[in-house]
A and B are shown apart, each in its own frame.
Chain A
Amino acid sequence: MSLTHAKKGECFTLEYIESGNRAKRKLQDMGLTPGVKICVVSNSSFGPIILELRGSRIALGRGLVDKIAVRRIDE
């Protein structure tokens, strides 16, 4: 699934990023590599999504959100 409908507070494991080279590289450099645990801090229809991973917070534009494939972590 993609992050599009992810809700605030939910956590996921990253599977892959399907996106152009530059954006993907940048995301990787910031820690979005396969297997990393990502938690959604906020995801409203307004503005970018906010993710928490590896101890930092990253805001990603709407355009990227559906390009990030994740798997829900069942607790």
Chain B
Amino acid sequence: MNMDIFKIALAGNPNSGKTTLFNALTGSNHYVGNWAGVTVEKKEGRIQFAEHIMDIVDLPGIYSLSPYTLEEKISRDFILRENPDVVLNIVDATSLERSLYLTLQLIELGKPVIVALNMMDEAKKKNIELDLQNLSIALGVPVVPIVALKKEGIEKLMQEIIDAHHNKASYRPVKFNYGDEVENFVKEVELKLPKNLKEQYESRWIALKLYERDREIQNLVSPFEMESDLESPDRMANLRYKAIGDIVNGVAALEHIKYDISTDRIDKIILNPWIGLPIFGIVMWVVFFLTFSVGGYFADKVDTFFSVYLSNGISAILTFLQASDWMISLVVDGIIGGVGGVLTFVPNIAIIFIMISLLEDTGYMARAAYLMDDIMSKVGLNGKAFISMILGFGCNVPAIMATRTIENENDRMIAILINPFMSCGARFPIYVLFSSVFFPGNETAVTFSLYILGIAMAMLFAYIFRKTLFKGEKSPFIMELPPYRFPKTSDLLIHIWEKVKGYLIKAGTVIFAASVVIWVVLNFNTTGLVDITESFGATIGRFIAPIFKPLGFGTWQSALSLISGIVAKEIVVANTSIIYGLAENAGNAEVMAVLSQAFSKVSAYAFMVFVLLYTPCVGVIGVIKRETNSWKWTGFSVLYQFLVAWIMAFLFYNVGQLIF
């Protein structure tokens, strides 16, 4: 059979159900990559339907195609440059008016568009009756009602996509009427437009963009000198909404479109200043409680698997095969100890990611940003920055990418620089290990205190940066409060799997390699196989250790752990497991015995403080470089965090010693 392969771009407003539709279309048949040159997640999936293969690309959630934010620019460039055969525009039927603003712009780009009218179940519940036929005529493109959550209408949607692809050659976008002034302008431009541009782009779109004084398009058609007109973008936005008003009037009774009533009820409580903040506190506490307790329960099981069954099993097999001692040590202490020490925490990591995506998908995250706006304003940021901070509890890499939604450059720089203080999932194992040894019974409280310290430091430094390096007004808070919705378990699971997969891949590659390297470093020196205390590792550690002496953990072991932890924070635990041989002897007493020789209660806490605050891992350093586009700020970030960590650990250790 002859396969017919083509490309689809999926575009829509934030919260329109894009991810849900994407999953409904592709199942788990997709992968996450990055946009060329920028680190914004790019999801691609492949659908096979009869003899058609469709490659679908999920564009970032946007309100408009005017290139004012990076997301908008990415989406627009993709549609213009990558030439998708069909643009699939997902529209939330319950906020038709707002959503059509993007739809009109997509249609004007000239590629065949299909409108997937989502949330039809909610629209029905709210008695929003839509004349889909009229809508389709007004827009000049097919409109397919769907319920992405229940996979309703998906087949019809596929069929329309395929039809649109086949009829591509004869497709002509509808012209929305923007009144005489604009239309005359468009005519004039169309006459003068050079031929090559006419062939490459939809000329009406170019003309409209010129009218809007879109700088990029102005450069594209440089011969067109035109007087600047600061008002014209406003007029265009206004005219678009007018055109939409006309369309919607012919399609629905506008008065019926009311905001979600149950959301309104919930928000009366959640957004109430006196009740909302305490509830937010409780929500965060529950997030962490579940991460520690439920996650911890499963982590124990995984730990037993690695440290007892797998280690014993493998060493038995290797002994049976008469492998040499060093071979057994490499596999059991090095690889199983290191990688296993990290994999043990998969359950905790999975739970923190589940919780974060629940917060996002239900719509609560926008409320958290709202509630935190006042407090964040005190340190010179707006509430939106708090979202990237919460995401940092999962992993700082996507969290730093999420600062993209912050409009103002200075605000964004501050948000990026403080993000690593938010304690990511990879640092969590260290707290668990140390607090279970030194603070048994109080693990949760100790760990929680570190998270709080991280937030406090982030706030403090936001304030300091605002007053010194990035002076100026914070950008205003603008955020949609989407209705509360409940995500489907399978979507949640797909999402979590993507995140956990990343963690597993890291364990299988970076951590694996690091474990082997560390094992070698810890078992060899120039003369060959030696005792750990005479190894390269010990030598390196001893060389660095004096730096940490004033902090209470000046042993070569911790120095080596901390330095290697810059590769990935999990390595601190992997390393500790290898150094102290924690892998084979899960016995808590023994762990306690070894660790307590090296640390006191106070120095153990200082160590955790240091781990919380010091130089981010290479993954984060990389993303800081890409996002700030500056080596200077990347270097700054590496150094200032090391200094802050050192000073704080110093304070905790020395003050702690006076008290305890």
Contacts and interface: CB of A to CB of B under 8 A. Distances in A.
Contact of B476 (A29, A31, A63): A63
Contacts of B371: 47
Interface size grouping (class) on chain B:
35 or more
B552 interface: no
Contacts of A52: 259
A55 B63 contact: no
Contacts, number: 114
Nearest to A31: B98
Contacts of A22: 68, 407-408, 475
A60 interface: yes
A47 B97 CA distance: 27
A19 to B, nearest CB: 8
Contacts of A44: 273
Interface of chain A, main secondary structure: mixed
Interface in B359-394: 366, 370-371, 373-374, 377, 382-383
A56 B477 contact: no
B480 A58 contact: yes
B476 A59 contact: no
B506 to A, nearest CB: 36
A25 B478 contact: no
Contact of B98 (A46, A56, A64): A56
Given A33-B241, A57-B259, A48 B477 contact: yes
A11 B72 CA distance: 31
A62 B68 CA distance: 22
Contacts of B410: none
B122 to A, nearest CB: 12
B374 A46 contact: yes
| Residue among B63, B473, B475, B478 having the largest count of chain A Cβ atoms under 10 Å | B478
A28 B234 contact: yes
24 contacts: A22-B407, A25-B68, A30-B478, A31-B101, A31-B241, A33-B237, A41-B264, A46-B273, A47-B370, A47-B371, A48-B383, A54-B95, A55-B258, A56-B95, A56-B98, A56-B259, A56-B481, A58-B480, A59-B370, A59-B479, A61-B373, A61-B383, A61-B478, A63-B477
Interface of B: 63-64, 66, 68, 94-98, 101, 233-234, 237-238, 241, 257-259, 264, 271, 273, 366, 370-371, 373-374, 377, 382-383, 407-408, 473-482
What 10 pairs between A and B have smallest CB-CB spacing? A61-B477, A46-B273, A29-B64, A28-B237, A57-B481, A54-B97, A55-B257, A64-B476, A61-B476, A55-B95
